[in-house]
Amino acid sequence: QVQLVESGGGTAQAGGSMKLTCKVSGTNIRIYSMAWWRQAPGSQRELIGHITGGGDAAYYERPFEGRFTIFRDNAKSTVYLDMNSLKPEDTAVYYCNGVAGGVRPAWSWGQGTQVTVSS
Comparing CA positions, the residue from 78, 82, 71 lying closest to residue 12 is 82
Q: Which of 8, 17, 7 is nearest to 90 (CA)?
A: 17
Distance CA 83, CA 73 (A): 17
Tens place of pLDDT per residue across the chain (119 aa): 999 999 999 999 999 999 999 999 999 999 999 999 999 999 999 999 999 999 999 999 999 999 999 999 999 999 999 999 999 999 999 999 999 887 799 999 999 999 999 99
Cα radius of gyration rounded to whole Å, the chain: 13
Expressed in percent and rounded to 5, the helix, strand and coil fractions of the chain are: 10, 50, 40
Q: What is the spatial distance between Cα 14 and Cα 104, in angstroms, rounded to a whole number?
A: 31
60 within 8 A of 47, measured Cβ to Cβ: no
pLDDT at 15: 97
Of 90, 85, 52, which is closest to residue 71 (Cα–Cα)?
Answer: 52
At 102 the pLDDT is 78
Dist. CA 57–CA 79, nearest whole Å: 13
